[in-house]
Structure formats: structure tokens, C-alpha cells
């Protein structure tokens, strides 16, 4: 509007100049006597006016050019915004002629190599991808014909070969005040709602699965319980019915556990206790259990006698049991299942082979999706929630590994679990800190570094026990700093027990970080030490020096200056030889022969 106003002003000034020229020229035709000086004045004024008009017109031209440049910049900015948005956008006039479309619109609907100039042509091109294309064209036509100031909403599915179906929602609205060649303009926005559709499908699938998977075992349980309550049956049948009830109860329990696992995983609350694990022993136990329970044939092939990995034993057992169960479920009767374990320097791979029905190509990309089940009548009859593989993949990835598979339809599948291998830590003449608190472990590391002591930090009792089992009296640790309340199956007491079991390790000094009230049933061990709450470098250095030079025929325990600790030890079955009161702690000498201390 501003440019048009300037152009109108320019035309008006030009008209005034023409009129002025006409007036001056008429003087030559009128019979009027004008003096020479008067003509000079008129001429000077006339040329001054012409100069002023030319200068002013030049300034206005510059303003027009500046405004045009600003307008072009705004157009480019608007176009960049249109191009960068995730939605597919086009602008069309009331006649359906497409005036603009962004690149996302063309790529999304496979139109890169086509020139589409009208909405009708667009709908016709959509026919090979969209079954609702005719309805879409009809809805757009009615909307434009009615000259409605409201909006249009239309949902449709877009299907392309070898690609996952996409779901779109079209929102069309009239652009107020925008006129293209005297015709109103309309904005069409295609929003991808595929994720929302997936959530809706998962919700419906979940309701269907839960209703079926809960109803089936409950019906069996209720039916057989009713028979046992109201009918006389033989002992053999009673045993058979009890076994069926038990199996269906296990099935219900597994279903509930799957949902609980899924809930914890999605909330980020699933806990993992990762320790060194003898995979060869774990697999042998699992295979034996399946063989005894199902009478199935499972061949276990190990590349080495001892294979160690870092994993959560319970969670890894859950994964392996599920994969073996799937292999048996989808394999012909009495068909062998193979478990092959391969080992390299960094990883251990577990391959579970079956000779089952295999997995179709179109299902492979969705196999680890929650609640997804291959759409096959044979598979549907076998039951399942569609959660197992999704949970397995989550667990394996949390353990630092990968879960993958290969499958040929009609020939079988191979599911592979890859986990990081574990290398036993060398403890030879090192200060070993067994503590799951990284802050304190770092403090200990800094202290040992200043004191020039070789240092190693272990997070779990299992790591320490495994390392001790691989030691001998010649390469045993120099000293162990231990937290008795470590989490795990063994806790800190398992380490002490192992020190007592291994010949030549009874003289390894141990410094304990925990109060006596947390010792639990400690009378089965030679108790060692008690916490002095202020831990500093001098205290550590003093304890190390003191314990290294102390004769190793007794156990020494240091505690806070609380004489009730003595009675607690007596009640726990400890034989106290001597008690010495130090300025900040008690030195309690016990009868057992190993030497321990506590800061």
C-alpha cells in the first residue's frame, strides 16, 4: 500500500509539471508585454521548480526500491519458514490452482518428479497411495465451492510399497485478506499423525491382548477348580488338573510380571545389579531346567570352558528363558534347539537357533515393538502379549549389549545376544577398595595416590570374590578396604568368607567401613573392625602402617569409644582377649587369628 501511495504522488507531481509547462508556453501566444528582467525571473523560478521536482522524484524512487527490497526479504523469510516446517503446506486459490507448495509436501507424497498445478491433479496422483483419494477430492471441492470462511478437516491413510503406512490429517482454512488475481486464497496443511495412530492401535491391541490373555487362564483355573470341588475324580486326573491349574497360574504370573517390567522400564525405575557372571554355568542350569520341565532337546555348544560376562544374573536369565521359550514354541515337535556361544576379546555372543516357522520380511522391522505380534493365525493360537521381545531388547541394551536376529520364512530363526566380556582384575600387591560409593572410592584413590600405593576399585562383592578365586598366596592383595553393607547376594561378608576359605589368605589385612550394628549375624565370621566417622589421609596412612607391622595371630577391631560395643561382641559369640582405650577409638583384640582393622 505504501508503494502504491508513493507511485500516485509521483503521477500527481508529473501532472503539475505538465500544467506548469503549458501555462508558461501560453505566454508566448498572449499579447502581453513582459520586460526582459521579468522573463529572467520567471525562467529562473521555472527551472528551480523542475530541479526540485526531479530531485524529489529521485528520492521517491529510492524509497520505492527500498520498500520493494524489504517486501522481497519478507517473502523470502516467509518461504524459508514454510520450507523449514515439518508439515506439508500448499496455498491454492478458490479455483483449486496451486500457487505454492513447500518441498516437504512434494517429498512426503512422492511428487518430486511431477508437476502438480491443481488440487484435482494432486488427488488423482494420490489414488495409487490412498484409498480415500476420491473422498478427499470431493471434500476439497465442496469446501472451495461453498466459499466457507470456516475450516476443513480430513483424515486419510497414505500407503507406499515397502514402507510403513502413514496417517495424515488435512486442515484447510481461508487466508483472510489474501487475494490472488482477485480470487480468495486458501491454506492447506497436511499434518503427519502416524505416531498418534500407532498409540491408538497399541491401546486397542493392549485391551484385546489383556482381555484374551487374562480370560483364557482364568477360565481354565475356574473350570478345573469347579471339577475338583464338585466331582469325584481319580488320583491321576486330580494330579493332572492340579498341574493344569499350576501352569495357568504361572502363565498369569508371567503376564503380570511383563506388565510390571514394562511399567518400570518406561518410568526409568528398573534396577539392574551388574556383576561378573559365569555364563557357562548359567546356561548349563537353564538348559537342564528346560530339559527336565519340557522334555525338550537343547544342544549347548561352548567355545570355552569358562566364559565370563558383565550382566545382571536374574535379568539375563529372564532374557534367555524367553528366547528359548519362543524357540520351542515356534518349532515343530521334538525339533532340536541349538545354543552356540562364541567368544572374542571384547564380547560374548549367544546364538539361539530354532527350526521353526520363521518370521516374514514385513514383520522384521516391527518385531521388537511393544505389543506387536506377527499377524499369522498359527502364531495367534500360541498366545502371548507381544511384550516379551521388547522387554528382552530393553534388558540387553541396559546390560551394555545388543539383541538381534536373522530369520528365513519356513526355515527358522537365530536370535543373538551380545554382551561385553569380563576380564578378571589383577589384585597382586594392590590396595583393593570394595565399595559401591563412587565418591568415597575416588577419595580413597586420591589418598592412595598421594601415599604411592597401587590401587584398584571394585564395585561389587562378586567382583572381589571372583578376583580372589583367581589369586594364589604369591599374588594376593596387599590390603582390602571393605564395605560390609554392599548390595548383592554375597554382601561384604561373602568376601570375608572367601578369605577364610582360600589357603594363605588369612593374613590379608582388612579395613572395614560400617558400624557394628549393621553386621547382622556376624558370629560366623572373625569380626574385624568398626567405623571411625572422620576419614582422612593421615588416618588411612596410619591404619595401613599399623596393620602392615602388626603380628597376624589375632583379629583387631577398632570402633568408636562406646563400651557397649564390647557387650555387643560378647552377645554375638566373640571371644575378646583385650580392650585398649585409644583417644578416639577402642582397640579390641579378639581371639581369632586373622588380622583386621577399621577406620
Given pLDDT bands bounded at 50, 70 and 90, which one contains residue 522?
very low
- Give a three-class secondary structure readout of 241-290: HHHHHHHHHHHHHHHHHHHHHHHHHHCCCCCCCCEEEEHHHHHHHHHHHH
Asked if 456 and 590 sit in the same domain, the reply is yes
Asked if 445 and 588 sit in the same domain, the reply is yes
- Higher pLDDT: 566 or 155? It is 155
Task: Evaluate whether residue 18 is within a structural domain.
Answer: no
Given pLDDT bands bounded at 50, 70 and 90, which one contains residue 532?
very low
pLDDT of residue 14: 57
CA nearest 527: which of 472, 594, 582, 467? Answer: 594
Asked if 217 and 171 sit in the same domain, the reply is no
pLDDT-wise least confident of 281-290, 356-365, 422-431, 533-542: 533-542
Which residues, 6+ apart, have CB-to-CB distance to 13 below 8 Å?
Answer: 53, 56, 57
80, pLDDT greater than 60: yes
Cα 53 from Cα 50, distance rounded (Å): 5
Q: If you average pLDDT over residues 179-187, what whole number do you get?
A: 76
Residue 282 C-alpha from the chain's centroid = 28
Pairing of strands 337-343, 298-302: parallel
Cα 311 from Cα 281, distance rounded (Å): 14
- Higher pLDDT: 138 or 535? It is 138
Residue 180 has which C-alpha cell?
490472488
Pair 376, 386: CB distance under 8 Å: no
42, pLDDT greater than 60: no
pLDDT of residue 8: 56
Asked if 157 and 254 sit in the same domain, the reply is no
- Higher pLDDT: 322 or 210? It is 322
Cα 279 from Cα 598, distance rounded (Å): 36
Asked if 438 and 582 sit in the same domain, the reply is yes
pLDDT-wise least confident of 90-104, 463-477, 489-503: 489-503
Task: Evaluate whether residue 386 is within a structural domain.
Answer: yes
> Looking at residue 565, which CATH number applies to its domain?
3.40.50.2300
Degrees to nearest 5, angle at CA 568 with 564 and 571:
140
Domain end marker among 68, 84, 100 = 84
Task: Evaluate whether residue 6 is within a structural domain.
Answer: no
> Looking at residue 305, which CATH number applies to its domain?
3.30.565.10
Cα 42 from Cα 29, distance rounded (Å): 16
pLDDT per position as a tens digit, 118-139:
999 999 988 888 989 899 999 9
399, pLDDT greater than 60: yes
> Looking at residue 209, which CATH number applies to its domain?
1.10.287.130
Cα 106 from Cα 104, distance rounded (Å): 5
CA nearest 536: which of 446, 466, 428, 429? Answer: 446
Alpha-carbon Rg for the chain in angstroms: 43
Which residues are paired to 481 by β-bridges? 433, 511
Pair 531, 599: CB distance under 8 Å: yes
- Higher pLDDT: 407 or 269? It is 407
Cα 153 from Cα 158, distance rounded (Å): 16
Phi-psi region of 404 (alpha: psi -120 to 50; beta: other; left: phi over 0): beta
Residue 599 has which C-alpha cell?
577406620
Q: Measured between alpha carbons, how far is residue 12 from residues 22, 50, 308 in Å?
A: 15, 14, 94
pLDDT-wise least confident of 18-27, 390-399, 523-532: 523-532
Asked if 453 and 376 sit in the same domain, the reply is no
| DSSP element (H, E) containing 55 | helix 36-84
Given pLDDT bands bounded at 50, 70 and 90, which one contains residue 394?
very high
Task: Evaluate whether residue 498 is within a structural domain.
Answer: yes
Asked if 473 and 361 sit in the same domain, the reply is no
Strands in 440-554 per DSSP E: 455-458, 479-482, 510-512
From first CA to last CA, the distance across the chain in angstroms is 86
Asked if 442 and 527 sit in the same domain, the reply is yes
> Looking at residue 157, which CATH number applies to its domain?
3.30.450.20
Domain end marker among 197, 219, 243 = 197
Asked if 222 and 263 sit in the same domain, the reply is yes
pLDDT per position as a tens digit, 235-289:
898 899 998 898 888 888 888 888 888 888 888 888 888 889 899 999 999 998 8
Residue 431 has which C-alpha cell?
590396595
Count Cβ atoms below 10 Å from residue 539 Cβ, excluding itself.
16
Pairing of strands 347-353, 402-408: unpaired
Task: Evaluate whether residue 74 is within a structural domain.
Answer: yes
CB under 8 Å, gap of 24 or more: what pairs does 133-141 form?
Answer: 136/170, 140/96, 140/172, 141/96
179, pLDDT greater than 80: no
SS3 192: strand
Asked if 217 and 312 sit in the same domain, the reply is no
pLDDT-wise least confident of 43-52, 335-344, 429-438: 43-52
| DSSP element (H, E) containing 521 | none
Task: Evaluate whether residue 22 is within a structural domain.
Answer: no
**What count of Cα atoms within 13 Å lies in the side-chain half-sphere of residue 340?**
9
The burial class, CB within 10 Å (0-12 / 13-18 / 19+), for 343 is: middle
- Give a three-class secondary structure readout of 529-566: CCCCCCCCHHHHHHHHHHHHHCCCCCEEEEECCCCHHH
Asked if 286 and 262 sit in the same domain, the reply is no
Which parts of 109-190 fold into alpha helices (H)?
A: 119-125, 133-145
Biggest CA–CA distance in the chain, Å, is: 149
Task: Evaluate whether residue 426 is within a structural domain.
Answer: no
Pair 448, 375: CB distance under 8 Å: no
Q: Which residue has the cell 490373555?
A: 213
CA nearest 389: which of 409, 404, 407? Answer: 404
Asked if 230 and 128 sit in the same domain, the reply is no
User: Model-level pTM?
Assistant: 0.61
Given pLDDT bands bounded at 50, 70 and 90, which one contains residue 330?
confident
Number of domains, the chain: 5
Determine the structural domain holding residue 68 and report its residue range. 29-84
pLDDT of residue 162: 74
Count Cβ atoms below 10 Å from residue 201 Cβ, excluding itself.
13
Strands in 88-136 per DSSP E: 88-93, 98-101
Domain end marker among 249, 267, 285 = 267
- Higher pLDDT: 56 or 581? It is 581
Cα 312 from Cα 395, distance rounded (Å): 9
Pairing of strands 402-408, 412-420: antiparallel
| DSSP element (H, E) containing 331 | none
pLDDT of residue 480: 80
400, pLDDT greater than 90: yes
pLDDT of residue 527: 35
Task: Evaluate whether residue 4 is within a structural domain.
Answer: no
Q: Torsion angle, CA of 381/386/391/396, rounded to 10 degrees?
A: 70
Amino acid at each position: 500500500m505504501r508503494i502504491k501511495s508513493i507511485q500516485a504522488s509521483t503521477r500527481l507531481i508529473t501532472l503539475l509539471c505538465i500544467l506548469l509547462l503549458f501555462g508558461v508556453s501560453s505566454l508566448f501566444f498572449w499579447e502581453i508585454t513582459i520586460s526582459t528582467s521579468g522573463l529572467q525571473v520567471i525562467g529562473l523560478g521555472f527551472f528551480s521548480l523542475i530541479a526540485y521536482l526531479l530531485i524529489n522524484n529521485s528520492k521517491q524512487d529510492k524509497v520505492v526500491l527500498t520498500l520493494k527490497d524489504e517486501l522481497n526479504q519478507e517473502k523470502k523469510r516467509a518461504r524459508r519458514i514454510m520450507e523449514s516446517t515439518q508439515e506439508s503446506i500448499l496455498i491454492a486459490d478458490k479455483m483449486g490452482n496451486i500457487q505454492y507448495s513447500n518441498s516437504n509436501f512434494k517429498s512426503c507424497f512422492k511428487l518430486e518428479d511431477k508437476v502438480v498445478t491443481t488440487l484435482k491433479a494432486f488427488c488423482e496422483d494420490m489414488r495409487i497411495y490412498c484409498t480415500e483419494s476420491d473422498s478427499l477430492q470431493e471434500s476439497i471441492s465442496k469446501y472451495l465451492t461453498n466459499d466457507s470462511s470456516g475450516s476443513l478437516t480430513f483424515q486419510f491413510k497414505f500407503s507406499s510399497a515397502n514402507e510403513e503406512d502413514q496417517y495424515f490429517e488435512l486442515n484447510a482454512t481461508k487466508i483472510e485478506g489474501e487475494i490472488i488475481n482477485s480470487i480468495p486464497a486458501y491454506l492447506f496443511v497436511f499434518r503427519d499423525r502416524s505416531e498418534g495412530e500407532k498409540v491408538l492401535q497399541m491401546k486397542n491391541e493392549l485391551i484385546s491382548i489383556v482381555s484374551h490373555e487374562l480370560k483364557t487362564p482364568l477360565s481354565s483355573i475356574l473350570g478345573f477348580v469347579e471339577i475338583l470341588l464338585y466331582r469325584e475324580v481319580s488320583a491321576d486326573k486330580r494330579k493332572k488338573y492340579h498341574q493344569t491349574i499350576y501352569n495357568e497360574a504361572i502363565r498369569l504370573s508371567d503376564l503380570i510380571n511383563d506388565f510390571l517390567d514394562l511399567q518400570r522400564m518406561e518410568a526409568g525405575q528398573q534396577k539392574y545389579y551388574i556383576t561378573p557372571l559365569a555364563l557357562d554355568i548359567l546356561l548349563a542350569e537353564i538348559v537342564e531346567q528346560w530339559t527336565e520341565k519340557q522334555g525338550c532337546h537343547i544342544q549347548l555348544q561352548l567355545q570355552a570352558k569358562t566364559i565370563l560376562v558383565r550382566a545382571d544374573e536374574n535379568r539375563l536369565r529372564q532374557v534367555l528363558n524367553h528366547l528359548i521359550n519362543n524357540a520351542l514354541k515356534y518349532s515343530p515337535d521334538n525339533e532340536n534347539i541349538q545354543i552356540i556361544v562364541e567368544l572374542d576379546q571384547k564380547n560374548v555372543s549367544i546364538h539361539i537357533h530354532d527350526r521353526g516357522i520363521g518370521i516374514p520380511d514385513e514383520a522384521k522391522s516391527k518385531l521388537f515393538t511393544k505389543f506387536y505380534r506377527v499377524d499369522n493365525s498359527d502364531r495367534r493360537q500360541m498366545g502371548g502379549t507381544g511384550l516379551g521381545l521388547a522387554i528382552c531388547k530393553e534388558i540387553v541394551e541396559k546390560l551394555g549389549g545388543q539383541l538381534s536376529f536373522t530369520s528365513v520364512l519356513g526355515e527358522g530363526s537365530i536370535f543373538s545376544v551380545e554382551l561385553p566380556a569380563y576380564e578378571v582384575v589383577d589384585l597382586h600387591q594392590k590396595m583393593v577398595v570394595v565399595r559401591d560409593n563412587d565418591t568415597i572410592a575416588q577419595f580413597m584413590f586420591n589418598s592412595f595416590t598421594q601415599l604411592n600405593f597401587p590401587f584398584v576399585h571394585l564395585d561389587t562383592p562378586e567382583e572381589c570374590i571372583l578376583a580372589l578365586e583367581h589369586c594364589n598366596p604369591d599374588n594376593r592383595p596387599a590390603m582390602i578396604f571393605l564395605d560390609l553393607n554392599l548390595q548383592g547376594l554375597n554382601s561384604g561378608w561373602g568376601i570375608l568368607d572367601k578369605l577364610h576359605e582360600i589357603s594363605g589368605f588369612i593374613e590379608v589385612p582388612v579395613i572395614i567401613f560400617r558400624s557394628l550394628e549393621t553386621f547382622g549375624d556376624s558370629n560366623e565370621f572373625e569380626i574385624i573392625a568398626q567405623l571411625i566417622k572422620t576419614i582422612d589421609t593421615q588416618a588411612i596412612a596410619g591404619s595401613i602402617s599399623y596393620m602392615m607391622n602388626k603380628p597376624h595371630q589375632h583379629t583387631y577391631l577398632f570402633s568408636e569409644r562406646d563400651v557397649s560395643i564390647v557387650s555387643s561382641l560378647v552377645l554375638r559369640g566373640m571371644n575378646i582377649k583385650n580392650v585398649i582405650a585409644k583417644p578416639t577409638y577402642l582397640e579390641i583384640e579378639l581371639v581369632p587369628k586373622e588380622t583386621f582393622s577399621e577406620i
